[in-house]
């Protein structure tokens, strides 16, 4: 890694640190209750605002990726940072608006927040891989690491905010405004510090988007890689949203909330250990190994139905399901398509976003045990895809090299 890009990498990661707060804050009970009281709606109605984030993400991803490849990572990231600032500051203004359209303002701002997420994904994922080019898998897992740190700190920040709000010193708006202002600062910094793809463009090394797409070979293996973005997202999302309900209804565990702690611990530890393992093991191997671990865990939990197994399952799914698997899949795709990294990142994230909508919507109409079975089926598909990609990996690399040679000549 060129040391001149080290400050740039930190700035990019800090975008995701604040994103870790932005994407989680609407799910916090205390925030939901405060917003619901301000807007005169039920607390569950706030969930629709969270869903609007996903809607914005799906709207923007198809064009955010190509724009990242055509205009560069700097512009894409700047658009993401600026849009996120609009989202967070907009939430604060919506809170103040109360019943005078506050809910509708928040919904529109949340769509902007989803668009921001898309531009950050298609700008920063390729950018950190280009900066830490010798270990792109580690680079992209660093994004998940910064998100996880922010989500671990958030409860403590909320605790302090609740205390100061109760004392009349501040309000919840302080948190929204503060994060929004930080994003404005990050936008300015992104425009000032160097990025590898900007330097290449200045040197005339950047190929046009249309020409790049025209000569890119999308094989069945490539499609399988993109579909892994769908399956791996489903594995941890179904667990996150339904495992505690399964523990209550099928294990008889009155308060299984401690599972979340073990899940987070597994994720954090996995990010560190996997980053070390990728120095010895090819990134693509984890696309098979981790889904196999998840599949075995889900089967044992479904059959065993005990508290110790639920705790172990939470840790292992946090490790193998949420511990950077999506980021590794994205990294492998970027390696196979180095000329259209932004576009490929968008395709993987579209698959991930579609999973959030379709699978969780289906799960909402099922019993917890049925959801567990569905998760097993989905993860099994992920194992099959991972096996197929690993078996065909050598030919995929050869094809990618051939495509790059064609571009050169």
344 domain residue, yes or no:
yes
Residue-wise pLDDT tens digits, 115-153 = 998 899 889 988 888 888 877 767 877 888 888 788 778
Q: Is residue 111 domain-shared with residue 228, that is, in the same domain?
A: no
Sole residue written with tokens 């980021």: 327
Total domains in the chain come to: 2
Q: Are 224 and 202 part of one and the same domain?
A: no
One domain for residues 184 and 302: no
Asked if 340 and 243 sit in the same domain, the reply is yes
Q: What pLDDT is recorded for position 204?
A: 46
- 323 and 247, same domain (yes or no): yes
In a domain, 339, yes or no: yes
- 260 and 191 inside one domain: no
Total residues belonging to the chain: 409
pLDDT tens, 91-116? 999 998 888 999 999 999 989 998 99
Same domain, 237 and 347: yes
* Whether 287 and 361 share a structural domain: yes
Domain boundary among 179, 206, 233: 206
Within a domain: 214: no
Question: Is 386 within the bounds of a domain?
Answer: yes
Q: What is the pLDDT of residue 23?
A: 76
Q: Where does a domain end: 206, 241, 276?
A: 206
> What whole-number percentage of the chain has pLDDT above 70?
89
pLDDT per residue as tens digits for the range 300-335: 999 999 999 999 999 999 899 988 788 788 888 877
Q: Are residues 196 and 288 in the same domain?
A: no
Q: Supply the range of the domain harboring residue 40.
A: 3-206
- Whether the full predicted model's pTM is greater than 0.75, yes or no, is no
- pLDDT value, residue 209: 42
Q: Tell me which long-range contacts 160-163 makes (C-beta under 8 A, separation of at least 24).
A: 162/30
Q: pLDDT tens, 172-192?
A: 788 899 999 999 999 999 999
Read off the pLDDT of residues 191-223 as tens digits, 9 standing for 90 and up.
998 888 655 554 444 444 445 555 556 678 888
- For the chain, the average pLDDT equals 83
| In a domain? residue 329 | yes
Task: Taking residues 234-248, report their average pLDDT.
Answer: 84
| pLDDT (0 to 100) of residue 11 | 94
Q: What is the pLDDT of residues 20-50, one digit of tens each?
A: 888 777 766 677 778 888 899 886 677 677 7
Residue 213 lies in a domain: no
Q: Are residues 26 and 62 in the same domain?
A: yes
Residue 211 belongs to a domain: no
24 and 126 in a single domain? The answer is yes
Residue 341 scores a pLDDT above 60: yes
Residue at 51 is within a domain? yes
Report the CATH number at residue 8: 1.20.1250.20
Which one of 171, 206, 241 terminates a domain?
A: 206
378 and 255: one domain? yes
């Amino acid at each position: 890694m060129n040391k001149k890009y080290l400050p740039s990498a930190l700035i990019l990661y800090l975008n995701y640190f604040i994103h870790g707060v932005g994407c989680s804050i609407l799910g916090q009970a205390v925030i939901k209750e405060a917003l619901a009281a301000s807007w005169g709606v039920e607390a569950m109605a706030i969930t629709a605002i969270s869903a609007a984030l996903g809607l914005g993400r799906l709207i923007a991803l198809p064009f955010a990726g190509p724009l990242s490849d055509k205009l560069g990572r700097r512009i894409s990231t700047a658009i993401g940072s600026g849009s996120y600032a609009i989202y967070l500051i907009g939430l604060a203004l919506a809170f103040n608006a109360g019943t005078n359209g506050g809910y509708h303002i928040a919904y529109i701002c949340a769509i902007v927040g989803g668009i921001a997420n898309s531009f950050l994904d298609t700008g920063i994922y390729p950018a950190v891989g280009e900066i830490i080019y010798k270990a792109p898998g580690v680079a992209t897992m660093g994004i998940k690491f910064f998100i996880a740190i922010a989500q671990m700190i958030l409860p403590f920040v909320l605790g302090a905010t609740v205390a100061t709000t109760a004392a009349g010193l501040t309000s919840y708006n302080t948190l929204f405004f503060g994060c929004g202002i930080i994003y404005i600062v990050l936008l300015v910094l992104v425009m000032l510090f160097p990025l590898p793809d900007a330097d290449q463009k200045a040197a005339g090394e950047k190929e046009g988007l249309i020409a790049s797409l025209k000569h890119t070979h999308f094989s069945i293996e490539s499609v399988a890689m993109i579909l892994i973005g769908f399956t791996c997202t489903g594995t941890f999302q179904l667990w996150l949203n339904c495992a505690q309900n399964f523990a209550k209804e099928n294990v008889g565990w009155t308060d299984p909330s401690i599972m979340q702690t073990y899940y987070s611990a597994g994720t954090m530890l996995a990010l560190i250990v996997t980053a070390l393992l990728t120095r010895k093991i090819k990134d693509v191997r984890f696309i098979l190994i981790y889904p196999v671990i998840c599949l075995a865990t889900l089967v044992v939990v479904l059959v065993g139905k005990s508290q110790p197994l639920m705790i172990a399952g939470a840790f292992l799914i946090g490790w193998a399901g949420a511990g950077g698997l999506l980021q590794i899949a994205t990294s492998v795709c970027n390696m196979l398509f180095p000329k259209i990294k932004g576009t490929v990142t968008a395709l993987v994230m579209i698959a991930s976003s579609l999973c959030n909508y379709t699978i969780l919507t289906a799960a909402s109409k099922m019993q917890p045990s049925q959801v567990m079975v569905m998760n097993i089926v989905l993860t099994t598909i992920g194992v099959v895809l991972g096996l197929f990609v690993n078996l065909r990996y050598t030919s995929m690399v050869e094809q990618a090299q051939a495509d790059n040679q064609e571009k050169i000549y």
